[in-house]
Structure 1
């Protein structure tokens, strides 16, 4: 396996074959322009060129075209003919990606006013007066290739610079946020993608997390230069490190990502997640900074605030173990962050269940009353996701936690086997185990019988060792 098999895609939106410019009557061979300048520029920068399909009818873009415009790491768009398809594609791209789009055009007439502000590369064509045909000379091809390579280099190596007029002119223009799960199922699969995932799967079957991590590092080394690798490949590798609790390697990988990927909201959330778990000096401050920037750009959401709440929760636990006076402040900060996360979208139960657990941990009259108020809302949220009938680990784990909170041991014992069966990664079990342990300590302080809860905790500990 070589990193050359997983090059980042540079999608090219342009006319095909010989087309006539209606304004000048000039016939242009766009296939020659692609072969002489565009394709070699992209390839020499270590990317994989991909032209658009010709399956376009009635101005409607084929589904795969949307996938390419949304998910391709880079795009080159030739605006020469003011072709409606190309302009439509450029409009979609500019609405979803602030950078990594490079417009080009033949200087046979100015660009239309609507796109005159974009930073486009102009190229010269040599016109035959008799035939009214226009060709790209050898010198012009080299110039276009050189300019394209410079712009692609800038996009790959950063620092990132907005090339979408929407993101440039409108402060805080809201980009479309595609969840990783959507991109995973929606993106176009390449021929080597299956081989890569099979290798990831084999690495994760090693006997221990240390061996799994070493196997994943070998895969990363084979990718060589990460800046020219498909985003989907890099994201899958990042999540594989997460699955084996390789926090140092996951963090280092995120830091090595190209700028366009570092700016991705999902990457920033996971980067902060791994920084908090690694917890070297300065890691948590950096994690908080990453999440704060995400909220400044996109507003509060359950995932971002859930990770931020976890950071404050870990700070609380460490301060409590040391007997530090700041423990209560960290606990209050974690509770308020989780509550804010749940309130930002009450359909997402994750921050809500964590808020309830910590409110019970705090244990005063006001906190317990708030926990009692939140419990039915969180129960409703997880029930909407299928509750005990779900096949998702987090849905089931939340049902279990709610049962333990309400001391419904019959329901807890019934759902426990399904929870453990759906746990595929040890860090997932640890997250639930942490909450159950917090609940156990709180119940001890409040004089409750913890026998049933302790039995459930032991099953989690046993299952985690097996993974």
Structure 2
């Protein structure tokens, strides 16, 4: 039974000093009938108090996590509506501080962060966010193609040593998969090869040919 923000947990102590939780409507009758061996019959209608506490804590944790996720999403959307440029970057950094060490990063939160960073061309933050996600046991990067796409896109734009090779390592298996592939993914592969060709002062003919084929 709940009253306001409190949950009432009725319980009884058996003659063997075991503590059970059950519905308050049963409490009076059970207390009056309690005998030394009666607790053997309590299983179907009562629950050990510690098990009841575990149930309540799980419900509270789930509700708290859901509220936190919705709060983060609302903050990201509000930031994108109110800020641009450096102001948006600062606001996103503040939001990131709240979630980096908390394993509540659902796909919708991640995508909203990635899109926000893309809007301000903060490609380094995209790369660092995805590489942070890879360290979380609850986040499987391989199952999130949209995240991988934005990761490869950011690597290509950031263009630190090895970034474009890593971007191709991500994208090539995706475009060669047997399933349906979005046209944007083919375009990104072609773009990466084109950028590699341009950066070589037009000497990397292999990248030129690969870019043309995609």
Normalising by structure 1, we get a TM-score of 0.31
Given that residues 155 and 164 in structure 2 are in contact (C-alpha distance below 8 angstroms), is that contact kept between their aligned partners in structure 1?
yes
Give the structure 2 partner of residue 285 of structure 1.
Answer: 165
* Alignment partner of 1:325 out of 203, 206, 210: 203
Distance 1:303 1:29, change over 3 A: farther
The yes-or-no answer on 1:227 pairing with 2:107 is: no
Give the structure 2 partner of residue 266 of structure 1.
Answer: 146
Give the structure 2 partner of residue 308 of structure 1.
Answer: 189
Distance 1:228 1:332, change over 3 A: same
Q: State the distance in 2 between where 1:197 and 1:268 align.
A: 20
Give the structure 2 partner of residue 254 of structure 1.
Answer: 130
Q: State the distance in 2 between where 1:309 and 1:291 align.
A: 10
Instruction: Report the Cα offset of residue 291 of structure 1.
Output: 1.5
Q: State the distance in 2 between where 1:233 and 1:31 align.
A: 38
Instruction: Report the Cα offset of residue 285 of structure 1.
Output: 1.1
Q: Secondary structure at the match of 1:272?
A: helix
Normalising by structure 2, we get a TM-score of 0.61
Distance 1:197 1:49, change over 3 A: closer
Instruction: List alignment gaps of at least 5 residues for structure 2.
Output: 1-42
Q: State the distance in 2 between where 1:297 and 1:49 align.
A: 38
Q: State the distance in 1 between where 2:45 and 2:158 align.
A: 55
Q: Secondary structure at the match of 1:48?
A: helix
Q: State the distance in 2 between where 1:218 and 1:271 align.
A: 21
Q: State the distance in 2 between where 1:220 and 1:30 align.
A: 44
Distance 1:195 1:331, change over 3 A: same
Could you give the per-residue CA deviations for residues 350-381 of structure 1, whole angstroms, max 9, x where no partner exists? xxxxxxxxxxxxxxxxxxxxxxxxxxxxxxxx
Instruction: Report the Cα offset of residue 315 of structure 1.
Output: 1.4
The yes-or-no answer on 1:335 pairing with 2:212 is: yes
Q: State the distance in 2 between where 1:210 and 1:308 align.
A: 30
Distance 1:331 1:227, change over 3 A: same
Given that residues 100 and 132 in structure 2 are in contact (C-alpha distance below 8 angstroms), is that contact kept between their aligned partners in structure 1?
no
Given that residues 69 and 104 in structure 2 are in contact (C-alpha distance below 8 angstroms), is that contact kept between their aligned partners in structure 1?
no
Could you give the per-residue CA deviations for residues 260-298 of structure 1, whole angstroms, max 9, x where no partner exists? 342212211111111111111111111111123334655
Give the structure 1 partner of residue 91 of structure 2.
Answer: 215
The yes-or-no answer on 1:48 pairing with 2:62 is: yes
Give the structure 2 partner of residue 427 of structure 1.
Answer: none
Aligned length: 165
Instruction: Report the Cα offset of residue 200 of structure 1.
Output: 2.4
Instruction: List alignment gaps of at least 5 residues for structure 1.
Output: 1-26, 51-189, 338-467
Give the structure 2 partner of residue 169 of structure 1.
Answer: none
Give the structure 2 partner of residue 57 of structure 1.
Answer: none
Distance 1:331 1:39, change over 3 A: farther
- 1:87-98 to structure 2, matched below 5 A, reads none
Q: Secondary structure at the match of 1:333?
A: helix
Could you give the per-residue CA deviations for residues 377-432 of structure 1, whole angstroms, max 9, x where no partner exists? xxxxxxxxxxxxxxxxxxxxxxxxxxxxxxxxxxxxxxxxxxxxxxxxxxxxxxxx
Distance 1:195 1:292, change over 3 A: same
Distance 1:329 1:250, change over 3 A: same
Give the structure 2 partner of residue 97 of structure 1.
Answer: none
